[in-house]
């Protein structure tokens, strides 16, 4: 498992107009090449009257699979510029389709490259990018008198509490970035003078929207 990744926040659609041509960018989170291809076909079916439905996608934890299509636009003016936007932003597991409804004015090769690139960039800006971090669930079992001290420490260090369970003792459940687990355990042990037990749950990705 990778320790972090960047991708779009959610699926979405955004549109720009350039010299009366409409450029509609449809973006989707995908996990496989087949899923990306199905998405592209669905958009093409939806916009079957469009002049072009150009596409690009990046799939895999390390961007192992990259594909693009100009869908009838001059070679290299649509799909590759779209793909370059995804790659430059370090996004993974994203498929993009830019649908063009021709407005009557030719844009030329340079104009097309700028238009398709801008359509994807604009779509990503509208939807937003999230960073997913691999986190370890850590449960801390402590005595009741130590709860306030622990809560203050977690709050001051901007560490979120997922859950707090009250039984004969208190169990505080946190999610900690995987690379920080050892340092976290050492700090808590020192803070509470060793009066704490650690239990480790599952590892999950926590996504945070980037500003």
The string of DSSP codes covering 81-97 is HHHHHHHHTTB-SEEEE
Q: Note the pLDDT tens digit of each residue in 150-199.
A: 999 999 999 989 999 999 999 999 999 988 999 999 999 999 999 999 99
pLDDT at 56: 98
Of 115-119, 143-147, 206-210, which gets the smallest average pLDDT? 206-210
pLDDT at 118: 98
pLDDT at 14: 98
Q: How many residues does the chain have?
A: 211
- At 1, the pLDDT band (50, 70, 90 cuts) reads confident
Q: b or e along 173-209 (b: 16 or more beta carbons within 10 Å of the residue's beta carbon)?
A: ebbbbeeebeebbeebeeebeeebeeeeeeeeeeeee
pLDDT at 133: 93
State in words which class domain 132-209 has. Answer: alpha beta
Q: b or e along 125-135 (b: 16 or more beta carbons within 10 Å of the residue's beta carbon)?
A: eebebbebbbb
pLDDT at 160: 84
Q: What DSSP character marks residue 146?
A: G
Cα three-residue angle 64-89-10, rounded to 5 degrees:
85
- Tokens encoding 71: 């869908």
What SS3 class is residue 63?
A: coil
Show me where the domains of the chain are located.
4-127, 132-209
Q: What is the CA radius of gyration of the chain?
A: 23
Single pTM value for the model: 0.85
For residue 36, give the nearest of 3, 4, 11 by alpha carbon: 11
- At 85, the pLDDT band (50, 70, 90 cuts) reads very high
Mean pLDDT of 48-61: 97
d(CA 155, CA 147): 12
The region that residue 158 occupies, defined by phi over 0 for left and psi between -120 and 50 for alpha, beta otherwise, is left
Is the domain covering 4-127 a CATH 3.40.47.10 domain?
no
């Amino acid at each position: 498992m990778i320790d972090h990744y960047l991708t779009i926040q959610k699926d979405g659609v955004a549109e720009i107009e350039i010299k009366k041509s409409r450029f509609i960018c449809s973006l989707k989170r995908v996990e496989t090449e087949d899923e990306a291809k199905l998405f592209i076909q669905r958009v093409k079916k939806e916009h079957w009257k469009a002049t072009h439905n150009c596409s690009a996608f990046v799939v895999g934890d390390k961007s192992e699979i990259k594909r693009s299509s100009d869908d009838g636009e001059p070679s290299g003016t649509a799909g590759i510029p779209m793909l370059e936007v995804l790659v430059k932003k370090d996004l993974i597991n994203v498929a993009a389709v830019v649908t063009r409804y021709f407005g009557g004015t030719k844009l030329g090769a340079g104009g097309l490259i700028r238009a398709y690139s801008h359509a994807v960039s604009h779509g990503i800006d509208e939807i937003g990018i999230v960073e997913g971090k691999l986190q370890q669930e850590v449960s801390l079992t402590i005595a009741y008198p130590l709860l306030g001290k622990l809560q203050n420490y977690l709050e001051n260090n901007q560490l979120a509490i997922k859950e707090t369970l009250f039984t004969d003792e208190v169990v505080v459940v946190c999610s900690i970035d995987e690379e920080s687990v050892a340092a976290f355990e050492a700090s808590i042990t020192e803070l509470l003078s060793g009066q704490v037990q650690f239990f480790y749950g599952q590892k999950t990705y926590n996504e945070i929207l980037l500003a």
